[in-house]
Structure 1
């Protein structure tokens, strides 16, 4: 019976066949231990010399790292294994012998591993990160589907930009200029006017020349937009959504979090509601902490966000940023026109902003004024302005960066490990 490693718990004391690769091995005189992987998980295969033909034991001892094979054996419970099971091997059929696999069990530098990313993905640690990433995506669809949202796919090629064009990749679209999308938000606002509550999940691109551990050139965003939702409604959805995905990972990725050495007690605290402070309060707090370089009207950098987050054991909202440092589409506070109804959600443990969101301007004349103040071409945004001419309503939305969220939940230090094939300032290969 051919099964996957993920299915072995259903076949205890039964003989099964796994299609797998050899991740590693060790042997003594009479027993060979094969670390097997098949994409769904890892399991130890035990080959006992006295229980198999001589050629099978010799074959087990000569197997090379990452050789592919069919392994037949009996599933047994193993309380010593983090996985809980092992395979007592009776037969091996090699499909392809791997020779001189470059990523050996010894330590390698990050540049070498990134050059071999196509192979590094096979390692136990990287496998665990990708499985957590997959669980966050699965839980995202579950959360929004169960809460009445419709999935909408905004275009990747656009003729305008939600936050200006200085950090966009430009391309030619036949005889006119186009850009790779840095956000699907504007299009999602249009979709919300048609479908009420919507979300998108897709790639975004920022031509930002940053080399920090938090930045990628190409990354994935989850972007909900909601008609008839105001500022407070928006924050409530964000904290419920983040709580949901964290609890889903805790429930469904126990083995992966253990592989990564993640302190799950930190994640177990992540339940709504989340604390919040205003931008004004954050500035005052930072001055008390000795950050004299930051003044009212400045945007926060990584050290500032980290200092703020360290005071909390949950993600924290920083709300009501100055109008001058936020995009043109954000709704002003009705009591103060120098700040807007927005919030950044800062993750604990130094992972920085994982969500940016706001109530959007729904007044036609104000939005038109903001476009002019930002030096944006009104004709390019004609369709966006028209959303405020035909049944405009208060509406809000946010964007969650998937890779930063994966980094925070897994405890991985650098976002390059949170996406299968990262695009960095100096890396377009493989």
Structure 2
């Protein structure tokens, strides 16, 4: 017995003149006398299905009339090219079967407030714009994996539940862990990644991370995805070289593969076409000078806020790499610059167009005595870090790495106003539903 092939809207271009059956949901419809125009969506695209009363039974025509927004149905018809129609193809309907009639759909073509849409996120993801964003997100994820898999990296999965923090516990979600006391949801897999780098040379992790930071800005989520490569025998310059090659690859891949989605999002792709190496590299001190020239009363030694990053990023048409930050504003594990103890060998990559930091990275402190002192200086309990210190006791080498936030990257590439659209179900300090 032959298996009946499944057809999807994305395949219609290969079936012009043939009769096919499609299954999906009613995106929209309109009528003109004896003709009904049904817009079907199936997750791969959209197609106009033309139901002409003279070509179908009365039962089929009545079924088309009954369809409500988001009703599911199966439709059969002949594929034809039609440049004026959505997607460039149409289906001349010969048969139609209702699978499920939808109740009155809460999200209509009219304008809705953002809180209403977020409350109905489980339905909002069906909209054309949200589908485009989520497809770009999926392509960014694949590009990230393709890049590291093709550059000799090994996937290395760190735990999500940890007994200690990378950078202190003030922005961590705390939990009771059986009889072992407190545990935390990870804010980064980096410390564990370092053990992987000293075992496998070059590793990366890619998964959810959590920050209990009480921030309501458009750049913050409490749960987000991060990719973190870690490389043995890499110094800060090697780290920056990899970061810019990586960003260029991801952006150019999405530009090439997601033209339709970026068009739906009305993204100015000319700005993304500029995202090519080399990226400008400036020191923290030079970045401070940029702010001062713009009239900002910024003191050397402070960390940059979102507004500061935006002002600095405005000076460049591609990401700018800011390196050598003050020691006091960065984490204990970052290596101090041997030529200037006041700064660490760290780098942040600031995206253009006001999207802020998308990468944070550094060369790690590989000297056991200096790392021990840094742990003490930060008031961290040494006992929790004994395993981490072992990495310096047994074959320490220079090593570096960085973390890239997926949602910030997707927001920038898509030109979004808020991170909440860059993840299927956003988690913010005032929302953990649906």
TM-score, scaled to structure 2? 0.97
Give the 3 Å change call, closer, same or farther, for CA 82–93 of structure 1 in structure 2: closer
Matches within 5 A, 1:345-364: 345-364=349-368
State the alpha-carbon separation in 2 of the partners of residues 341 and 44 from structure 1.
56
The secondary structure found in structure 1 opposite 2:87 is: coil
The one of 32, 36, 57 aligned to 1:32 = 36
Counterpart of 2:296 in structure 1 is 291
The one of 183, 192, 215 aligned to 1:187 = 192
The secondary structure found in structure 2 opposite 1:220 is: strand
State the alpha-carbon separation in 2 of the partners of residues 83 and 230 from structure 1.
49
Which stretch of the first structure deviates more once superposed, 93-102 or 82-91?
82-91
State the alpha-carbon separation in 2 of the partners of residues 47 and 313 from structure 1.
49
Counterpart of 2:384 in structure 1 is 380
Give the 3 Å change call, closer, same or farther, for CA 75–49 of structure 1 in structure 2: same
2:266 aligned with 1:266: no
Question: Please, which runs of 5 or more residues in structure 2 have no aligned partner?
Answer: none
**How many residues in Structure 1 have an aligned counterpart in Structure 2?**
429
Q: Does structure 1 conserve the Cα–Cα contact (< 8 Å) formed by 2:188 and 2:209?
A: yes
How far does the alpha carbon of each residue in 1:221-252 deviate from its partner, in whole angstroms, 9 at most, with x for none? 00000001111111111111111111111111
Q: Does structure 2 conserve the Cα–Cα contact (< 8 Å) formed by 1:83 and 1:255?
A: no
Counterpart of 2:108 in structure 1 is 104
Q: CA deviation at 1:33?
A: 1.7
Counterpart of 2:137 in structure 1 is 133
The one of 217, 242, 248 aligned to 1:237 = 242
The one of 21, 35, 40 aligned to 1:17 = 21
Counterpart of 1:170 in structure 2 is 174
The one of 280, 283, 295 aligned to 2:285 = 280
Q: Does structure 1 conserve the Cα–Cα contact (< 8 Å) formed by 2:46 and 2:86?
A: no
Counterpart of 2:127 in structure 1 is 123
Q: CA deviation at 1:150?
A: 0.4
How far does the alpha carbon of each residue in 1:387-421 deviate from its partner, in whole angstroms, 9 at most, with x for none? 00111000000000000000000011100000000
State the alpha-carbon separation in 2 of the partners of residues 425 and 244 from structure 1.
33
Q: Does structure 2 conserve the Cα–Cα contact (< 8 Å) formed by 1:168 and 1:182?
A: yes
The one of 59, 63, 66 aligned to 1:59 = 63
Question: Please, which runs of 5 or more residues in structure 1 have no aligned partner?
Answer: none
The one of 287, 299, 306 aligned to 2:310 = 306
State the alpha-carbon separation in 1 of the partners of residues 47 and 404 from structure 2.
34
State the alpha-carbon separation in 2 of the partners of residues 319 and 266 from structure 1.
24
State the alpha-carbon separation in 1 of the partners of residues 361 and 157 from structure 2.
19
The secondary structure found in structure 1 opposite 2:393 is: coil
Q: Does structure 2 conserve the Cα–Cα contact (< 8 Å) formed by 1:262 and 1:411?
A: yes
Matches within 5 A, 1:129-168: 129-168=133-172
Following TM superposition, the consecutive aligned residue runs of length 4 or more in structure 1 with deviations greater than 6 angstroms are none
The secondary structure found in structure 2 opposite 1:370 is: helix
Counterpart of 1:213 in structure 2 is 218
Q: CA deviation at 1:34?
A: 1.3
The one of 408, 417, 424 aligned to 2:421 = 417
Which stretch of the first structure deviates more once superposed, 265-274 or 394-403?
265-274
How far does the alpha carbon of each residue in 1:266-305 deviate from its partner, in whole angstroms, 9 at most, with x for none? 111111211111110111110110111x210111111111
Q: CA deviation at 1:62?
A: 2.5
Counterpart of 1:87 in structure 2 is 91
Matches within 5 A, 1:388-403: 388-403=392-407
Counterpart of 1:248 in structure 2 is 253
State the alpha-carbon separation in 2 of the partners of residues 248 and 86 from structure 1.
30
How far does the alpha carbon of each residue in 1:324-376 deviate from its partner, in whole angstroms, 9 at most, with x for none? 00000011111100001111111111111000010001000010000000000
Q: Does structure 2 conserve the Cα–Cα contact (< 8 Å) formed by 1:240 and 1:272?
A: yes
Q: Does structure 2 conserve the Cα–Cα contact (< 8 Å) formed by 1:157 and 1:180?
A: yes
State the alpha-carbon separation in 2 of the partners of residues 271 and 183 from structure 1.
28
2:46 aligned with 1:42: yes
Q: CA deviation at 1:56?
A: 2.0
Q: CA deviation at 1:81?
A: 4.0
The secondary structure found in structure 1 opposite 2:96 is: strand
The secondary structure found in structure 2 opposite 1:83 is: helix
Q: Does structure 2 conserve the Cα–Cα contact (< 8 Å) formed by 1:17 and 1:72?
A: yes
State the alpha-carbon separation in 2 of the partners of residues 113 and 384 from structure 1.
44
The secondary structure found in structure 1 opposite 2:54 is: helix
The secondary structure found in structure 2 opposite 1:354 is: strand
Q: Does structure 1 conserve the Cα–Cα contact (< 8 Å) formed by 2:60 and 2:97?
A: no
